[in-house]
Copies of this chain bind each other. A is one copy, B any other.
Amino acid sequence: MSTTWVPVVAEAGFGVDNLPYGVFSPQGQAPRVGVRIGDHVLDLADALGDEVFARPSLNPFLETGRARWSEVRARIRELLTDESHRQVVEPALHPLERVGLHMPFAVADFVDFYASEEHASNLGRMFRPDTEPLLPNWKHLPVGYHGRAGTVVPSGTPIARPCGQRKAPGEESPTFGPSTKLDIEAEVGFVVGTGSRLGQPVPPKDFAEHVFGVCLVNDWSARDIQAWEYVPLGPFLGKSFATSVSPWVVPLEALAAARVATPAQDPEPMDYLTESEPWGLDLQLEVELNGQVVSRPPYAGMYWSPAQMLAHMTVNGASLRTGDLYASGTVSGEAAGTRGSLIELTWNGTEPLQLSGGQPRTFLADGDTVSISATAPAEDGGRIGFGAVTGTIRAAECEPAG
């Protein structure tokens, strides 16, 4: 790890090899763009004298494109490693505990994929027990769908238990009320910086021209609402009440040491999905429920890479916009304790988790707090931190079924 004159704990993952971007508000000031270094946030408008950072969203900077992203990152590293800049830069550093953190970017479109073979197979086994767990299209294309951009919220936003219709298989007719199967989905999100023109597909090799960075996503899911509504047009209200994202967006440039090949893909992907260089990522996720680790999903095992997802999303000519967010879908591994949703960890509620204090837990209870964090290998053999996306469940406000 390069050394910085800012006090950092190497193991914490926020040294100069990381430098993730977010939107923060120093006391009494409007939100603006900063990068995290150790337990401080560097005010970029102050430190670089560039007004593109004096905004409440990363989007204007994202629009400047890859060459500028690189220049800015190099300049920040220089300011934070060269002791000669200390006197000038130090006043632009704000202790993390004294700032507010906000939504880091304005979401244009939100797409959610389904790229973990384990997750897709597990859900297939639960929901369609009489058929093959994977549907016939799954290994030919990264299955995905559009979610609600307007309800993507920053980490820390309380999550109200949604109300809606649900009908269990044995029931005669649907009932209305608060979801009784409120779940999480531990996911990784990709933030588009540079848009593309309508009619112009983006091949896998152009991934890093368009995608700026990576964040963590919790795609809250009401399984009972989802199970009743989702045929034939897919998930809707079971997902659209809230999707939480982490406050920090780790730039792709910080992830060079995390790049790995995807698992072997069979059948061979079509040409438009073929990668010339690997864009799998060796991120290690961790899911905490009320402070207790309940899962450690490994991102490296995801079947489809983010470059393949991007190529698929645009192969029909769909354009990209600055601020588009696409997420991987639930990250689930093969081993015990590596699944990224409660429906998998408790096998649809039939095998409760035992929380400390002897509390059994199937789906989320009111008051539960979920925190998803991740780290990735750094170039010097250390780790890079993603921080965490957290949320606490609030009781539903609808009337129970009448």
Contact = CB atoms under 8 A, between A and B. Distances in A.
A231 B108 contact: no
B271 A402 contact: yes
A114 B163 CA distance: 21
A319 B114 CA distance: 25
A160 B231 contact: no
A316 B143 contact: no
A360 to B, nearest CB: 27
Interface residues of A, number: 64
A241 B316 contact: yes
A163 B162 CA distance: 38
20 contacts: A114-B233, A127-B232, A137-B231, A140-B174, A141-B174, A145-B233, A145-B234, A150-B319, A150-B321, A153-B198, A164-B316, A225-B316, A230-B232, A233-B235, A237-B312, A237-B315, A238-B316, A240-B316, A241-B318, A315-B398
Interface string A224-251: 0100111111111110111000000000
A267 interface: yes
A35 interface: no
A244 to B, nearest CB: 12
Contacts of A151: 198, 318-319
A81 B318 CA distance: 45
A259 B277 CA distance: 58
Contacts of A167: 136-137, 140
Nearest to A312: B237
A197 B319 CA distance: 29
Contact of A149 (B109, B176, B233, B267): B109
Contact of A240 (B136, B143, B146, B398): B146
Top 7 A-B pairs ranked by shortest CB distance? A234-B234, A162-B316, A145-B233, A146-B146, A237-B316, A233-B234, A241-B316
Contacts of A141: 165, 174, 229
A236 B321 CA distance: 17
Contacts of A55: none
Interface in A137-191: 137, 140-141, 143-151, 153, 160, 162-165, 167, 173-174, 176
Interface of A: 108-109, 114, 127, 135-137, 140-141, 143-151, 153, 160, 162-165, 167, 173-174, 176, 198-199, 201, 222, 225, 228-238, 240-242, 267, 270-272, 312-313, 315-321, 324, 397-398, 402
A320 B174 CA distance: 26
Contacts of A313: 237, 240
Contacts of A164: 315-316
A270 B237 contact: no
B315 A232 contact: no
A149 B240 contact: no
Nearest to A157: B198
B319 A160 contact: no
Contacts of A222: 316
Nearest to A114: B233
Contacts of A145: 145-146, 233-236
A142 to B, nearest CB: 10
A176 B271 contact: yes
Contact of A316 (B163, B201, B234): B163
B235 A148 contact: no
A136 B228 CA distance: 9
A228 to B, nearest CB: 6
A240 B317 CA distance: 8
Contacts of A147: 146
